[in-house]
Amino acid sequence: MSRTAEANARARVGVVGAGQLARMMGEVAHDAHVELTVLAEHELESACDTCDHVLLGGARDEVALRQLAQLVDFVTFDHELVDLDVLTNLENSGLNVRPSSHALRFAVDKAHQRRELHARGLPVPRFLVVRTSDDAELAGWLDALRAEPVVKTPRGGYDGRGVFFPKSRAETVRLVDELGALGDVLVEERLELVGEFAQQVARGVDGSIALYPLVASVQSEGMCVEVRFPAGVSDAVLAEAEDLTRALAALVQPVGMMAVEYFLTDEGLVINELALRPHNTGHWTIEGVATSQFTQHLLAVSGQALGPVTTLTTNAVMVNVVGGEQAGSRDDASTVAGVFVHDYGKSFRKGRKLGHVTALGDHLTDTHVRAWKSARLYGTAAKGA
């Protein structure tokens, strides 16, 4: 096939948002037989370096989204800061939005997610959705808890933004009223966590499913610091996660990748969050699994068959590189044996996610040490070591 004919054979996928997830989709797009266009706020965004085409415009702007949809066959997402009504309009005009607005609602709106999952008997923290502290149910509901609750804004939060841990009833009441002035407030039981875990699942347009293994994640101040495969839990917990993740895929019906974040408590797994896109806890799949979450997402949204999810390593440790006191060196980070360094092409700023490193190996502790050594050389704030 000539180069032009080959390019024509590629599916055209448009990504709403141009952050590091779209950047990593761009890195594998050609292998997945996809031509990638990103909708970016500005030309310096992370994904603009790796994609085939850039369209400038906002993720919530219907005009920009319609322009994107004219250039591509399928529209997908790098984040969930989107307007579901606008997406429904696009779908009603016959455009291929994958995942659909129906599925995306589970990730965009935590209150919707909690209500739907609870109604189907799936394990979520005890919760209440309120608008003001005068709510008739709130006082009695708070009295029944053992500790102050977690207070969340159901929409627009990420990396711990929009999640609050009040220390007193007065603070809880103040938070509910402050946040309630802007919209719904999700108030939920603060669980005693044994650990945090995540599982990725891919779903094709034909409903086929590919399940990735459960991983352990370490969070610090709401941000994922480290991810470990294997998860280091019993076969019973692995089986419980698999059942829940399959049930969630059947309920949500995503097309593309879905990540499920779990809390492990004394009573078993509790579902925290869903993301309908590649996710930070799945970055290790680039080197650790036969089909990475980025390739898989593009295969699925463009209607191709899902790839195999055989694991290629006995242990993997992924560490996020977050700007510390001063910038480190990517070259130095790459000198650590068996470590793969990923740079998101962003300028250095303290507290900013700049990249990640993944170490593979036969022994978990050794793999862990190498991942952190590399991340520190790169300049991580290294909170979770």
Is 157 a residue that touches ligand ADP (CB under 6 A)? yes
Q: Which stretch binds ligand ADP (CB under 6 A): 156-164, 298-306, 318-326, 359-367?
A: 156-164
Residues 319 and 371 sit within 8 Å (Cβ to Cβ): yes
C-alpha span between 242 and 246 (Å, rounded): 6
Based on CB atoms, which residue is closest to ligand ADP, 18 or 274?
274
Task: Tell me which of 222, 267, 305, 351 binds ligand ADP, using CB under 6 A.
Answer: 222
Q: Which stretch binds ligand ADP (CB under 6 A): 157-165, 203-211, 232-240, 306-314?
A: 157-165
Is 230 a residue that touches ligand ADP (CB under 6 A)? no
Is 195 a residue that touches ligand ADP (CB under 6 A)? no
Nearest distance in Å: CB 121, ligand ADP: 19
Alpha helix (H) residue ranges in 42-123: 62-71, 84-92, 101-108, 110-119
Nearest distance in Å: CB 299, ligand ADP: 26
Nearest distance in Å: CB 110, ligand ADP: 7
Based on CB atoms, which residue is closest to ligand ADP, 196 or 343?
196
| Rounded (10°) CA dihedral 38, 40, 43, 44 | -100
Nearest distance in Å: CB 287, ligand ADP: 24
Q: Which stretch binds ligand ADP (CB under 6 A): 79-87, 149-157, 225-233, 325-333?
A: 149-157
Pairing of strands 339-343, 353-361: antiparallel
Based on CB atoms, which residue is closest to ligand ADP, 274 or 375?
274
Strands (E) across the chain are located at 11-16, 34-40, 53-56, 74-77, 127-130, 150-152, 163-164, 185-188, 195-203, 209-211, 215-220, 223-229, 256-265, 268-275, 315-322, 339-343, 353-361
Q: How far from the centroid of its chain's Cα atoms is residue 21's Cα?
A: 9
Q: Which stretch binds ligand ADP (CB under 6 A): 52-60, 112-120, 160-168, 241-249?
A: 160-168
For the chain, what is the radius of gyration of the CA atoms?
21
Based on CB atoms, which residue is closest to ligand ADP, 35 or 196?
196
Pairing of strands 185-188, 127-130: antiparallel
Based on CB atoms, which residue is closest to ligand ADP, 280 or 292?
280
C-alpha span between 203 and 219 (Å, rounded): 27
Nearest distance in Å: CB 384, ligand ADP: 12
Please tell me the chain's helix, strand, coil percentages from 3-state DSSP, rounded to the nearest 5.
Answer: 35, 25, 40
Is 49 a residue that touches ligand ADP (CB under 6 A)? no
Nearest distance in Å: CB 266, ligand ADP: 13
> Total number of residues binding ligand ADP (CB under 6 A)?
20
Structure tokens at 43: 């030309």
Q: Which of residues 239-298 bind ligand ADP (CB under 6 A)?
A: 261, 272-273
Nearest distance in Å: CB 253, ligand ADP: 22
C-alpha span between 103 and 13 (Å, rounded): 18
C-alpha span between 32 and 165 (Å, rounded): 42
- Which of 122, 140, 162 lies closest to 251, judged by CA? 122
What track of x and - describes contact with ligand ADP for positions 94 through 133 (by CB under 6 A)? -------------------------------x--------
In the three-class reduction of DSSP (H, G, I as helix; E, B as strand; rest coil), residue 173 is classed as: helix
Task: Tell me which of 71, 81, 122, 191 binds ligand ADP, using CB under 6 A.
Answer: 191
Q: Which residue is nearest to ligand ADP (CB)?
A: 191
* C-alpha separations of 283 from 190, 316, 340, 362, 367 in Å: 28, 10, 11, 19, 16
Secondary structure of 108-159 in the HEC alphabet? HCHHHHHHHHHHCCCCCCCEEEECCCCCCCHHHHHHCCCCCCEEECCCCCCC
Based on CB atoms, which residue is closest to ligand ADP, 96 or 272?
272
| Rounded (10°) CA dihedral 55, 60, 63, 66 | 70
Is 163 a residue that touches ligand ADP (CB under 6 A)? yes
Nearest distance in Å: CB 80, ligand ADP: 10
Is 175 a residue that touches ligand ADP (CB under 6 A)? no
Question: Contact positions toward ligand ADP, by CB under 6 A?
Answer: 125, 150, 152, 157-161, 163, 188-191, 193, 196, 219, 222, 261, 272-273
